[in-house]
A and B are shown apart, each in its own frame.
Chain A
């Protein structure tokens, strides 16, 4: 699928710019996560510094991870592989660079507004209306650039990665507007229970229609390319793509099973959450069968190693997610750190792992040199892996302590001393991930910008 004739003439300027954006904001995003985790063990840390209180740090962390680190990381790969899969150039690298600049301005505006207490108070949809417009403009520009690239392709057949990227950017442009109730500039919200329904529809679509399809697109590109083998099954690609769009969009209400929303809505959400096994396993079978017998080649390429690990995390987080949608399970897991653990396996273990893998896969191919340091990339791999597995163990344990204690009639306050130690462990693991972000940022800057690469 790779044509060296076109590769040589491609500048990859947009892909490079998204690489730097992702690596840079990963540092800030994980620092905010670490700050929040530290405040939970040392609550006086924010000592009356308004922009540092947990309630402001947390949405900055979440928004930066989603829109600053992971999405740009995955888009960097998309801007790299689309021209290669379509046998053409990006429609406009200049427009691509403008998009990246606007993207960074948007992130800066998001950080400043949230830190100053301008928030619409809805999880994943906190950003105020002017920043919402900037986000939509960014996605709109990406859509335009990519669709025009597709239009001017010289390869008639669209590879599965192209489907996923196109669907992700157009559907997110739409669900972002819906979820942020963009026609209500002042509040960005509906009233009462319908607001919760629309919010979680959107909140889940950020994973289901943005991070997941982009990450799957990268995996579908990186794994076959790394092992120089065709994809196992085109039929499975088709089933996986359409079933993901149909099933994932139904399940947002599983966040509201213990809330007075209509029962039929809960039933659909639970049934489709279980049905998520179909798109997940179809994709995983396809990618794992493609890789069958060639794990050595995957292991040899640090980018592919990240990506393949991400697919394993996708398995865990998805099966866990299906189980968590069961009402009997939620009696214990809802409202506590179990869910935070789940979110970290999904976003850090799956989507961010694949985003980082994409970066490490494309950077040597963009520069024509090996990475500045394969060792540092491996170090980052292990720090992230230990961090995310550690998070899973620690936060799941905390969740079980909290959930069972509450069911047993203990108050939230009584349980705080019981979980303190686990919060210390969580912050320590957060420090590992923050360290890995600095290492990765340094490695990526040196790989992309310095003239001399390390000798292989």
Chain B
């Protein structure tokens, strides 16, 4: 080896290598970048941009990615991220870890009041969440932050938000017309087939225990530990969470409960759980609600067809 390592060789040599590689790996992709917006892209409103600043200041990016991949199943997975989604982002907030959910398509997944309750204490709406409390930001900032979150997904978020706002008005109308009309309104929106589908899970002790566990992890924050709709999130939500104890004698079948848990009630804080919970879990949390709070269950009634082999 005859290469002489003089100070000049070390410093000029290192800088030359860095300059070359910076040109190739940073400048070239920059120079050839495609700034074409994707089909869902739109610019952010000033309020959404202000909300984004709050998001950055509090380090939300360390737990929430905004980068949907082809292998993802969680919410937002219907729209894989494209380079054109990010053409307005300075800085880009892809994130590097998913301690919480990806937020690329968060806009319109929930109504505004759900988000406020969630920011005040994330465990109000999501009992297992490990997100910090953000009530310290103050009401004004929480609303600004909510505008940003509700715009994530751009045009698709706007579409979902319109649907939220429409059904929120309908749900409020139904709620304000009294419990009887409200329960009827809710049940009438369940397709007939679902209302009559036989409930296939028996209310065994083990099944109710499993339902109890699901209830605690997903439902408790709004509907409360005794199912009266007085969970800690209740003061923030309108229309308020349903009080299950008024449902006795109102022909609430297991199929109705199943459908409402599966699909949620858009416009209200009731989310859909069909991504989160598989079939058995939905039936069994429905059975738990029916047995303990409504005190009326159609579980495992005739006709049952051929009993499945594990049935008691």
Tell me if B312 is interfacial: C-beta within 8 Å of chain A. Answer: no
Whether B91 contacts A120 by the Cβ 8 Å rule is: yes
Q: Provide the main secondary structure of the chain B interface.
A: loop
Whether A411 contacts B101 by the Cβ 8 Å rule is: yes
CB distance from B84 to the nearest CB of A (A): 8
Contact of A119 among B59, B75, B92 (CB under 8 A): B59
On B, residues with C-beta under 8 Å from A are 1, 3, 5-7, 10-11, 13-15, 17-18, 21-22, 25-26, 29-30, 32-33, 35, 55-63, 65, 67, 69-75, 81-83, 86-102, 122-123, 126, 128-137, 217, 275-276
Contacts of B81 in A (CB 8 A): 259-260
CB distance from B116 to the nearest CB of A (A): 15
Residue of B nearest to A203 (CB): B96
Contacts of A335 in B (CB 8 A): 65, 95-98
Whether B15 contacts A170 by the Cβ 8 Å rule is: yes
CB distance from B204 to the nearest CB of A (A): 23
For window 84-120 of chain A, which residues contact chain B by CB distance below 8 Å? 117-120
CB distance from A245 to the nearest CB of B (A): 5
Tell me if A190 is interfacial: C-beta within 8 Å of chain B. Answer: yes
Please tell me which stretch of A54-62, A284-292, A310-318, A431-439 contacts chain B, meaning at least 4 of its Cβ atoms lie within 8 angstroms of it: A54-62
Residue of B nearest to A258 (CB): B69
CB distance from A311 to the nearest CB of B (A): 22
Contact of B7 among A59, A117, A147, A416 (CB under 8 A): A147
Question: Top 3 nearest A-B pairs by Cβ distance?
Answer: A55-B59, A189-B91, A121-B56
**Could you tell me the distance between the alpha carbons of A407 and B92 in the complex, rounded to whole angstroms?**
25
Whether A201 contacts B5 by the Cβ 8 Å rule is: no
Whether B22 contacts A178 by the Cβ 8 Å rule is: yes
Contact of B63 among A55, A119, A245 (CB under 8 A): A55
CB distance from A313 to the nearest CB of B (A): 22
Tell me if A232 is interfacial: C-beta within 8 Å of chain B. Answer: no
Whether A55 contacts B29 by the Cβ 8 Å rule is: no
Please tell me which stretch of A71-79, A249-257, A377-385 contacts chain B, meaning at least 4 of its Cβ atoms lie within 8 angstroms of it: A249-257
Whether A40 contacts B29 by the Cβ 8 Å rule is: no
Residue of A nearest to B12 (CB): A170
Whether A406 contacts B130 by the Cβ 8 Å rule is: no
**Could you tell me the distance between the alpha carbons of A235 and B1 in the complex, rounded to whole angstroms?**
7
Please tell me which stretch of A5-13, A23-31, A43-51, A364-372 contacts chain B, meaning at least 4 of its Cβ atoms lie within 8 angstroms of it: A43-51
Tell me if A421 is interfacial: C-beta within 8 Å of chain B. Answer: no
Whether A198 contacts B59 by the Cβ 8 Å rule is: no
Tell me if A265 is interfacial: C-beta within 8 Å of chain B. Answer: yes
Residue of B nearest to A205 (CB): B18
Tell me if A322 is interfacial: C-beta within 8 Å of chain B. Answer: no
**Could you tell me the distance between the alpha carbons of A249 and B1 in the complex, rounded to whole angstroms?**
24
Given contacts A48-B133, A118-B57, A339-B96, contact A174 B18 (CB under 8 A): yes
Contacts of A188 in B (CB 8 A): 91
Whether B15 contacts A171 by the Cβ 8 Å rule is: yes
